[in-house]
Amino acid sequence: MARKGKQQSSQISIRDVARLAGVSLGSASRVLNGASNVTPDIRQRVEQAVDRLGYRPNHVARSLRSRTSKTVGMMFTDLANPLYARVFQAVESRLHARGYMPLLANSLSIADREMELLGVFQSRAMDGVIITPGNERDPRVVAAVRDLPLPTVIYDRDFDVQRDCLLVEHAPALRELVARLIGLGHHRIALVLSQSESRPISRRIEGFRAGFEERRLAVPEDLVLRLPTVMSPAFDAIVAVLDAPRPPTAIVSLGTNMLGDVLNAIRGRGLRIPEDISVVSLGEPGFMRYHQPPISTLRIDADIIADGLVSLLLDRIRDGDDTPPRRILLKAEYCERGSCAAAPVARRNRKRS
């Protein structure tokens, strides 16, 4: 039931939104069209007015007038990834407030499927796309991204194309994380990842190795565990390294499925976190908030990612090809919690002294 005194949404116009927000018609229009040249205060007032009035733009009429569809294509590699799910929700909320409807597609990191989806986005005359392909080294996918005649934002992939992109600086974050663990006395640190050659995986391995090399320590290559996919079982691989003659004293694991197997393998071997082994997650699966002790994490804020992606896309939709490609760099944040402590040997030496 509509709120008391509230007009039916089909009768509400942008003039009503501007009047309730206390802004000019032009300011309200700029906010609803995703323009960046408005103040945060005006944007917030207009968005609140839209919500209170239940205003819904007439997209059919608008598209006929402006030749826009008010739709945005979004392609992720794996929607089972909690980070992608959170990013989509945050992006969807921001686009919805600006009158856009996202169409979400799951590429499964299959090159043919990615090219097919890019073709679908183009055939549906979408206003722009946000994409995270899983085949950034496949020349066919690279060509498809380069030639896509739509405003395009690439999320955390290394494509040799002239496109707007948002990248996460994984290597410096992993290097600093390794430095922190080495400072706690951990020299046998395991890294659990997939065999993907995507930017996040390759840059994390780069940073992991750099952390040891900068301290002139041997990189424990035998503890860099590469599983077939992000959903591959990790339990047996973790049990094998825990039972090895020189087991790790710390494990850094890709989140979600792999992290769950890491925790189960540690528990199955009767080890305690962090007394016997420290654990860090790359990413922040939902179950981590309930785990005891709380798991340390190298995380990326989904809201900050969404702000960057939407800003890049709407600016490109507005500017067309008149401005050079932009790049936003974000850094992962390390949150140390109860799952990290001094390595067992380092802790015993400290007690003796």
- CATH number of the domain residue 312 falls in: 3.40.50.2300
Instruction: Give yes or no: residues 198 and 339 share one domain.
Output: yes
Instruction: Give yes or no: residues 260 and 276 share one domain.
Output: yes
- pLDDT exceeds 80 at position 8: no
CATH of the domain at 36: 1.10.260.40
Instruction: Give yes or no: residues 174 and 142 share one domain.
Output: no
- Where does the pLDDT of residue 35 fall: very low under 50, low under 70, confident under 90, or very high at 90 and above? low
Contact assessment for residue 223 and residue 186, using Cβ atoms and an 8 Å cutoff: no
Instruction: Give yes or no: residues 175 and 279 share one domain.
Output: yes
Residue-number span of the structural domain to which 197 is assigned: 170-299+335-352
- % of residues, the chain, pLDDT over 70: 90
* Residues 69-86: tens digit of each pLDDT: 899 999 999 887 878 889
pLDDT recorded at residue 36: 61
Instruction: Give yes or no: residues 201 and 284 share one domain.
Output: yes
* Residues 296-310: tens digit of each pLDDT: 999 889 999 999 999
Helix, strand, coil proportions of the chain in percent (round to 5)? 45, 15, 40
Calpha distance 259→309 (Å, rounded): 28
pLDDT recorded at residue 13: 81
- pLDDT exceeds 80 at position 353: no
- pLDDT exceeds 60 at position 66: no
Which of 30-34, 56-60, 208-212 is the least confident region?
56-60
Tokens of 225: 């565990």
Strand order in the sheet with 327-330: 101-106, 71-76, 128-131, 152-155, 164-168, 327-330
- pLDDT exceeds 50 at position 4: no
CB atoms within 10 A of CB 270: 7
The total number of structural domains in the chain stands at: 3
Global model pTM greater than 0.85 = no
